[in-house]
Amino acid sequence: MVVVPNFHGKQALDAWLEGHDAGVLLQGPDPDGPRPVLNGVVVAQSPAPGTRMRRWDVVTVRIEGGGDGSGVREPRRPLPERREALKRSDG
């Protein structure tokens, strides 16, 4: 038997890792849905923290604020040339 940790307020990936270390599996409310439990913050969980359950049973979490999961969008470096500069160089 294992005790379910409190995942509320944690980043989804951190919660998933903590759950794995505690011996439980995390899944979203729709396990077949398009959004993985990797991005966002845990806002709800079932069963509640402190519940005793069998090792590797599932804890369902609800995640919010995950964005589209497409990764970090950083400015391109070097910046692309401006159209005005391209017109002058084509001359």
Domain boundaries, the chain: 2-66
In angstroms, the Cα distances linking 82 to 2, 70, 73, 75, 86 are: 59, 27, 20, 15, 7
What's domain 2-66's architecture? Answer: 2-Layer Sandwich (3.30)
pLDDT value at residue 73: 58
pLDDT value at residue 15: 94
Distance (Å, rounded) from C-alpha 5 to C-alpha 52? Answer: 10
11 and 36 Cβ atoms separated by less than 8 Å:
no
Evaluate if residue 89 carries a pLDDT over 70.
no
pLDDT value at residue 48: 96
Confidence of residue 29 (pLDDT cuts 50, 70, 90): confident
